[in-house]
């Protein structure tokens, strides 16, 4: 420590609110360079590498092959899949000296798919599992909590390529199992939650959440079964989960045919909205317009209202207050090309809450719109006045403690978590966009199917600190700690020499050692630093040395033992 590039701080940084942010800065693990952009100092870099190494070992163990792709990417890759636009403001876009557009990779589906397309041509080449550990760039709207939500951060991103759906399912299970092993080894308390509404079918996706009150994700768990889900997935079906394919291309939804009604009823019932719907319900659509006080502009809402129209209007008015609410005559509606602002589902009204999914099929007035014309899927929280766009941040849902579990077993309770990993069966979304095919055994091309699997390596480091600290500092689990033993020499005599000697012996026994050999630094400061840094075992070579004893401290449980100098190495190992 006399030469280590490390300065600890006694005060919390002014901008820090969560424990990991405070302690990682105070312990000299990271330093802020810009909002959401951090430098990793020597001890921090070691922890980051330790986490990366565990991830790497488990990826290699399932047959993953490590690559390193560029972070600086030409626009063309993301143009092909529409993400150059779709990614919105979160994408860092830039131009080279010739004016060509580039971006800094926020995730690499396109690039990996493109790479595989260039190298592999036959079904015999598949499956293949590729991964990298690399900086990612996202211009987050709210970078926060140090490295928990950075704008530049470290991610392990992996991609599976298979020839058929069974292959993809198997690849997904492989990665999922590896993730379980990774988070077990990291000593994290975590839950696996479904990230898309299972009942709605579609592609499968699960998130790994580290349980922590500072987490931005709310998840629910059932008291009666293993059911767990991100609240985003419980009530609000993800866009790809909507059975849009089943609907006719363009139907006047005021006089829909029987098949359309049936589809809509099925949709509502599958969504698990808390009651059963019949054909009669969907016919009672009411067109309503609203406007903010003082505003000239009316916005139109299509309300799917089951039951008594009068009662529901009162509820609606109450819920939308202070906005003005009026029913629109259907003839006006037909005559004016209003853009329907939202569709409020029946459950919301029944619950006296107006929060619901905007069904993309009804957002352009009187026509169902499907396929390429389908506007962006929107979820509007009318109570909070927020409009959530589909970048994965639908962050409020109406799930409350005590609600019945969707699987019928037990009731739900909510808790907070940090998304540390995400596994996703993408299917053919990206491979369709770039036409990634392989020749099948019959000589015919087969469209490859893909999965993607991310772990926020830098976020994991902070999540570990969130779960493992006390008022004095960090308590690293041994698997990721920057050292196994922290040998502290105090006093002016032989203690420092002796501390260095013990450190040397411990290293010979295969331990990783940090030694505090600073001169002119008080024992109190050294102890405080040791507790802040959080290395699992501390050996203190102090006053007892003249009597042939040193002290052994355990950072996690605070236990202290006097140990004979001759025995210390055996004890610490």
DSSP E strands: which ranges in 48-168? 65-66, 72-74, 92-95, 101-104, 128-137, 152-162
CB of 12 to ligand ATP, least distance (A): 21
CB of 210 to ligand ATP, least distance (A): 9
Comparing CB distances to Mg ion, the nearer of 91 and 540 is 91
Q: Which two tokens stand for residue 105?
A: 């990779």
d(CA 97, CA 481): 44
CB of 418 to ligand ATP, least distance (A): 8
The yes or no reply on residue 107 touching ligand ATP (CB under 6 A) is yes
Instruction: Please give the residues from 416 up to 445 whose contact with ligand ATP meets the rule CB under 6 A.
Output: 419-422
The yes or no reply on residue 150 touching ligand ATP (CB under 6 A) is yes
The yes or no reply on residue 136 touching Mg ion (CB under 5 A) is no
The yes or no reply on residue 451 touching ligand ATP (CB under 6 A) is no
DSSP character string of 179-201: HHHHHHHTT--EEEEESS-GGG-
Instruction: Please give the residues from 118 up to 147 whose contact with ligand ATP meets the rule CB under 6 A.
Output: 138, 140
The yes or no reply on residue 390 touching Mg ion (CB under 5 A) is no
Closest-by-Cβ residue to Mg ion is 422
Residue 303: contacted member of Mg ion, ligand ATP, none (CB under 5 to 8 Å, by partner type): none
d(CA 367, CA 50): 56
Per DSSP, 258 falls in state H
Q: Do 505 and 211 touch, CB atoms closer than 8 A?
A: no
The stretch near Mg ion (CB under 5 A) out of 122-130, 265-273, 384-392, 473-481 is 384-392
Please state the φ and ψ torsions of residue 379, each to the nearest 5 degrees.
-125, 125
Residue 459: contacted member of ligand ATP, Mg ion, none (CB under 5 to 8 Å, by partner type): ligand ATP
CB of 182 to ligand ATP, least distance (A): 12
Per DSSP, 212 falls in state -
Contact mark string toward ligand ATP, 338..377, x via CB under 6 A = ----------------------------------------
Place of tokens 């505090």: 516
The yes or no reply on residue 151 touching Mg ion (CB under 5 A) is no
Give the distance from CA 49 to its chain's centroid: 21
CB of 558 to ligand ATP, least distance (A): 32
Contact mark string toward ligand ATP, 375..394, x via CB under 6 A = -----------------x--
Strands 101-104 and 72-74: antiparallel
Count Cβ atoms below 10 Å from residue 115 Cβ, excluding itself. 15
The yes or no reply on residue 422 touching Mg ion (CB under 5 A) is yes
Q: Which two tokens stand for residue 500?
A: 């260095």
Comparing CB distances to Mg ion, the nearer of 417 and 542 is 417
Interface residue with Mg ion among 272, 390, 392, 523 (CB under 5 A) is 392
Starting at the earlier edge strand, list the strands of the sheet with 72-74: 72-74, 101-104, 92-95
Applying CB under 5 A, the site for Mg ion has a residue count of 3
For residue 520, with 0-12 CB atoms within 10 Å meaning exposed, 13-18 middle and 19 or more buried, which class applies?
exposed
Per DSSP, 559 falls in state -
DSSP character string of 111-145: HHHHHHHHH--BGGG--EEEEEEEEEE---SS-BT
Q: Identify which of 2, 53, 4 has the alpha carbon closest to the alpha carbon of residue 481.
A: 53
Comparing CB distances to Mg ion, the nearer of 187 and 392 is 392
Q: Do 460 and 450 touch, CB atoms closer than 8 A?
A: no
Interface residue with ligand ATP among 341, 459, 469, 526 (CB under 6 A) is 459
Interface residue with ligand ATP among 155, 212, 241, 358 (CB under 6 A) is 155
- What b-and-e string marks burial along 252-270, b requiring 16 or more CB atoms within 10 Å of the CB? ebeebeeebbebbbebbeb
CB of 368 to Mg ion, least distance (A): 30
Closest-by-Cβ residue to ligand ATP is 456
DSSP H or E stretch at residue 434: helix 429-434
d(CA 548, CA 180): 46
Comparing CB distances to Mg ion, the nearer of 206 and 529 is 206
Comparing CB distances to Mg ion, the nearer of 419 and 498 is 419
CB of 392 to Mg ion, least distance (A): 5
Per DSSP, 324 falls in state E
Applying CB under 6 A, the site for ligand ATP has a residue count of 16
Contact mark string toward Mg ion, 341..360, x via CB under 5 A = --------------------
The stretch near Mg ion (CB under 5 A) out of 177-185, 421-429, 436-444, 493-501 is 421-429
Interface residue with ligand ATP among 56, 108, 149, 486 (CB under 6 A) is 149
Comparing CB distances to Mg ion, the nearer of 44 and 143 is 143
CB of 236 to ligand ATP, least distance (A): 14
Q: Do 147 and 153 touch, CB atoms closer than 8 A?
A: yes
> If DSSP codes are grouped into helix, strand and coil, which group holds residue 479?
coil
Using CB under 6 A, list all residues that contact ligand ATP.
107, 138, 140, 149-150, 153, 155, 392, 419-422, 454, 456, 458-459
Which residues sit at the interface with Mg ion, rule CB under 5 A?
A: 392, 419, 422
């Amino acid at each position: 420590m006399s030469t280590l590039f490390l300065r600890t701080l006694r005060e919390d940084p002014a901008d820090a609110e969560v424990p990991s942010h405070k302690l990682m800065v105070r312990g000299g693990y990271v330093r802020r360079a810009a909002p959401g952009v951090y430098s990793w100092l020597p001890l921090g870099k070691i922890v980051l590498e330790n986490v990366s190494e565990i991830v790497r070992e488990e990826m290699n163990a399932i047959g993953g092959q490590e690559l390193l792709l560029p972070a600086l990417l030409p626009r063309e890759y993301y143009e092909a899949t529409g993400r150059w636009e779709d990614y919105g403001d979160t994408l860092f876009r830039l131009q080279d000296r010739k004016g060509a557009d580039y971006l800094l990779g926020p995730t690499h589906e396109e690039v990996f798919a493109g790479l595989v397309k260039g190298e592999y041509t036959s079904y015999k080449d598949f499956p293949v599992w590729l991964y990298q550990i690399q900086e990612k760039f996202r211009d987050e709207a709210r970078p926060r909590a140090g490295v928990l939500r950075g704008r530049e951060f470290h991610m392990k991103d992996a991609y599976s390529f298979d020839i058929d759906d069974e292959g993809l399912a198997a690849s997904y299970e492989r990665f999922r199992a590896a993730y379980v092993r990774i988070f077990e080894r990291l000593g994290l308390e975590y839950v696996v939650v479904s990230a898309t509404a299972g009942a709605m079918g579609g592609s499968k996706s699960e998130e790994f959440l580290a349980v922590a009150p500072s987490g931005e994700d709310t998840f629910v768990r059932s008291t009666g079964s293993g059911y767990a889900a991100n609240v985003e997935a419980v009530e609000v079906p993800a866009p790809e989960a909507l059975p849009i394919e089943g609907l006719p291309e363009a139907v006047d939804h005021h006089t829909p045919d029987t098949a359309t009604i049936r589809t809509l009823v099925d949709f509502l019932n599958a969504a698990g909205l808390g009651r059963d719907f019949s054909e009669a319900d969907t016919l009672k659509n009411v067109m309503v317009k609203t406007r903010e006080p003082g505003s000239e502009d009316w916005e139109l809402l299509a309300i799917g209202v089951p039951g008594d129209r009068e009662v529901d209007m009162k509820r609606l008015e109450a819920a939308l207050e202070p906005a003005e609410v009026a029913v629109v005559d259907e003839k006006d509606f037909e005559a004016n090309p209003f853009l329907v602002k939202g569709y409020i589902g029946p459950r919301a009204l029944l619950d006296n809450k107006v929060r619901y999914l905007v069904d993309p099929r009804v957002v352009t007035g009187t026509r169902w719109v499907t396929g390429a014309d389908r506007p962006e899927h929107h979820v509007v929280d009318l109570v909070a006045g927020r409009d959530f766009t589909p970048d994965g941040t639908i962050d409020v849902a109406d799930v409350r403690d005590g609600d019945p579990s969707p699987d019928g077993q037990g009731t739900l309770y909510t808790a907070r978590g940090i998304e540390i990993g995400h596994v996703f069966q993408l299917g053919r979304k990206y491979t369709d966009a770039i036409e990634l095919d392989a020749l099948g055994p019959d000589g015919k091309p087969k469209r490859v199917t893909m999965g993607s699997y991310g772990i926020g390596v830098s976020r994991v480091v902070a999540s570990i600190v969130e779960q493992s600290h006390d008022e004095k500092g960090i308590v690293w689990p041994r698997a990721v700690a920057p050292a196994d033993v922290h040998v502290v020499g105090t006093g002016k005599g032989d203690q420092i020499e002796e501390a260095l000697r013990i450190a040397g012996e411990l290293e010979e026994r295969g331990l990783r050692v940090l030694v505090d050999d600073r001169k002119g630094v008080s024992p109190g400061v050294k102890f405080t630093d040791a507790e802040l840094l959080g290395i699992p075992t501390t050996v203190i070579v102090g006053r007892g040395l003249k009597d042939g004893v040193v002290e052994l401290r355990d950072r996690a449980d605070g236990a202290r033992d006097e140990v004979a100098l001759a025995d210390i190495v055996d004890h610490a190992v």
